[in-house]
């Protein structure tokens, strides 16, 4: 009740549009509560039974004891009426305002189990009180039929009265005993009397036994009860059966529903897998394709647990969606060297447009020559990137991509080119997943939008980073350096060979001059030597030109349009 004076509410007049206005004024909250549920809650929580027992029952004597006992019974029954009517709206309000508690599987099951135990407690309490009443009815009936019985014998503290001992042994122990008694039928209360629970002073034993009796008969809908012809007992048994049926249908049914919600995703996965198997069987897919489909479905289930993350995030407001994407992707995007020095606005724009994707082992993400429609930023896993430079004979380059790497850089060149058309660039590499891969994908249209909106992406720093980490540029640089080194090595070897040949030609000329005597003049010999040397230089120049033409065949990758300054 104290919390009700501090619990805000939504004004009914403000519910026409939107969610309504929340009233937090303590005066208005107290006024509303006083006008609605204060009286009912007060009657429900007042300790009236305890007051009656402490103030009247323990101090009453004679006939006042029976009257007080009857008043106590009526008070208990009447006080349960407002409690019952208040527990229903409180349960509905709990579901509405504390949806996390009510919609959680284990919390919901525990909540309804608690209500079921409370109902068992109420039924057991009434069973104990009615058992006492039935025992008192037997005493009064036998006292009325006996000649020497007085009503004062039934009152507490009158054991010393005359003829009480004879009446106790002849009437109470013989006619009102629950053991093998054929004169008075206790019906469903015989178990309470024969077990000694009614006459016992051990509260723990009384409470546990009555709680067990209520739980047992609520669960079995009173099927094991053997009633007498006493109308009150029959009415109580009927109410017990109806109450148990309602509780079983409402509470236990809801508890089962909440517990089943734990495996609802797993059941959905089984249904999807069965549909997938039927479809693959109907289309006569080969066994290797079936295994790949099964492996992908299993891997996706293990990663997402059947939750469609993309649709879940897209249904949220824009600012909340941006914050969630930032929380999920920002740290991962910063691990990509291409984006680690970007400003916050550009990173937010990229994170907002990234889409998670999964690839299983041996999946070809893109093949050489195919159009590139997305740029992938690897989060987890390992990929193989291979190129043959358009199928050129004798050319093969292989590299590994891991966390923090990216592929599909041809798309960035296309996106940064303001004159690029609708035709997507072709892939220069074949990318294959060596193990399960998690990545974020940035599709062509989104990358084009980001590149057009944020000029910071055109900086020279991004150009150098892009060249350094691009597999296409790395391959070209490696091939360029390799070709240049080969050309340098060939030039050095050719120069050395030319020098050797010139030396040999000069030596041969000198020998011919010495052996020929006066046949040739010294000038003619010198001219012949120079002619041979010039001819060798021409051969070497032709070889160098051929090597240069081979180097030209290694085409330089297209360079993005980095036209903005770093200050932009």
Contact 407, 473 (CB under 8 A): no
Q: Which residues pair with 455 in a beta bridge?
A: none
Q: How far is CA 192 from CA 201, 218, 236, 261, 507, in A?
A: 14, 17, 15, 41, 135
Q: How far is CA 56 from CA 62, 70, 153, 198, in A?
A: 12, 12, 20, 21
Q: In degrees rounded to 5, what are phi and psi of residue 359?
A: -135, 135
The whole-number pLDDT of residue 565 equals: 44
Contacting residues for 129 by C-beta, under 8 A, at least 6 apart: 73, 76
Contact 239, 84 (CB under 8 A): no
Q: Is the pTM of this model over 0.85?
A: no
If DSSP codes are grouped into helix, strand and coil, which group holds residue 391? coil
The whole-number pLDDT of residue 518 equals: 47
Closest C-alpha to 83, from 113, 111, 48? 48
Instruction: Give the pLDDT of the chain (568 residues) as one tens digit per residue.
Output: 777 777 776 776 655 444 556 677 788 888 887 887 788 888 888 887 777 777 766 666 656 666 777 777 788 878 878 887 777 777 766 666 554 444 555 666 677 788 888 889 989 988 988 888 888 788 777 777 766 666 666 666 555 566 666 666 666 666 777 666 557 777 888 888 888 888 788 888 889 999 999 999 888 888 888 888 888 888 988 989 998 888 878 777 777 776 676 677 777 778 888 888 888 888 888 888 888 888 888 777 766 766 777 777 778 888 888 888 888 778 777 766 667 667 777 788 888 888 888 888 888 888 888 888 888 888 888 899 888 765 565 567 788 888 878 788 778 777 776 667 778 888 888 899 888 888 888 888 888 887 776 555 555 556 665 665 565 666 677 777 877 888 888 888 888 877 877 677 667 666 665 655 444 455 555 555 555 556 556 655 555 555 545 444 556 666 655 554 444 4
Q: How far is CA 313 from CA 200, 245, 446, 503, in A?
A: 63, 43, 17, 80
What is the C-alpha separation between 234 and 183, in angstroms, rounded?
Answer: 19
- What value, to the nearest 5°, has the Cα angle with vertex 55 and ends 54 and 58? 65
- Secondary structure tally for the chain: helices H, strands E: 22, 10
Contact 219, 243 (CB under 8 A): no
Contact 341, 334 (CB under 8 A): no
Tokens of 523: 């000038």
């Amino acid at each position: 009740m104290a919390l009700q004076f501090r619990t805000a509410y939504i004004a009914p007049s403000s519910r026409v549009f939107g969610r309504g206005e929340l009233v937090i004024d303590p005066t208005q909250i107290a006024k509303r509560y006083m006008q609605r549920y204060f009286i009912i809650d007060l009657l429900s929580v007042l300790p009236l039974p305890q007051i009656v027992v402490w103030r009247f029952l323990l101090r009453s004597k004679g006939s006042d004891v029976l009257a007080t006992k009857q008043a106590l019974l009526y008070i208990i029954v009447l006080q349960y009426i407002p409690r019952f009517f208040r527990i229903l709206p409180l349960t509905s309000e709990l579901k509405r305002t504390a949806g996390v508690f009510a919609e959680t599987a284990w919390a919901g099951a525990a909540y309804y189990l608690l209500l079921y135990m409370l109902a068992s407690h109420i039924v057991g309490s009434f069973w104990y009180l009615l058992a006492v009443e039935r025992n008192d009815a037997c005493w009064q009936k036998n006292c009325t039929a006996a000649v020497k019985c007085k009503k004062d014998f039934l009152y507490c503290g009158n054991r010393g009265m005359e003829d009480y001992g004879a009446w106790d042994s002849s009437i109470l122990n013989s006619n009102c005993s629950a053991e093998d008694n054929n004169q008075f039928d206790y019906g469903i209360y015989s178990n309470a009397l024969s077990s000694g629970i009614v006459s016992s002073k051990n509260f723990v034993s009384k409470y546990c036994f009555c709680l067990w009796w209520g739980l047992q008969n609520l669960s079995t809908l009173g099927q094991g009860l053997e009633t007498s012809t006493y109308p009150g007992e029959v009415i109580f048994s009927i109410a017990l059966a109806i109450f148990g049926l309602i509780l079983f249908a409402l509470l236990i049914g809801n508890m089962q529903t909440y517990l089943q919600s734990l495996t609802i995703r797993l059941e959905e996965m089984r249904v999807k897998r069965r549909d997938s198997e039927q479809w693959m069987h109907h289309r006569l897919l080969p066994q290797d394709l079936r295994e790949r489909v099964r492996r992908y479905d299993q891997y996706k289930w293990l990663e997402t647990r059947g939750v469609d993350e993309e649709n879940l995030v897209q249904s949220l407001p824009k600012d909340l969606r941006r914050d969630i994407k930032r929380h999920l992707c920002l740290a991962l995007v910063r691990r990509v060297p291409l984006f680690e020095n970007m400003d916050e606005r550009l990173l937010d724009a990229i994170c907002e447009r990234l889409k998670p994707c999964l690839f299983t082992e041996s999946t070809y993400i893109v093949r050489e020559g195919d159009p590139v429609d997305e740029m992938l930023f690897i989060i987890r896993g390992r990929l193989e990137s291979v190129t043959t430079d358009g199928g050129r004979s004798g050319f093969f380059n292989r590299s590994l991509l891991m966390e923090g790497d990216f592929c599909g850089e041809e798309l960035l060149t296309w996106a940064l080119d303001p004159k690029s058309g609708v035709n997507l660039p072709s892939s220069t590499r074949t990318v294959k997943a060596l193990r399960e891969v998690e990545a974020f994908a940035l599709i062509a249209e989104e990358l084009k939008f980001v590149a057009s909106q944020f000029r910071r992406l055109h900086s020279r720093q991004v150009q150098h980073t892009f060249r350094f980490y691009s597999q296409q540029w790395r391959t070209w640089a490696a091939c360029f350096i390799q070709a240049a080194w080969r050309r340098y090595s060939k030039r050095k070897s050719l120069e050395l060979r030319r020098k050797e040949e010139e030396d040999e030609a000069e030596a041969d000329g000198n020998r011919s001059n010495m052996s020929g005597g006066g046949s040739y003049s010294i000038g003619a010999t010198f001219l012949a030597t120079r002619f041979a040397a010039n001819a060798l230089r021409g051969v070497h120049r032709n070889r160098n030109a051929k090597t240069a033409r081979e180097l030209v065949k290694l085409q330089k990758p297209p360079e993005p349009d980095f036209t903005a300054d770093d200050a932009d």
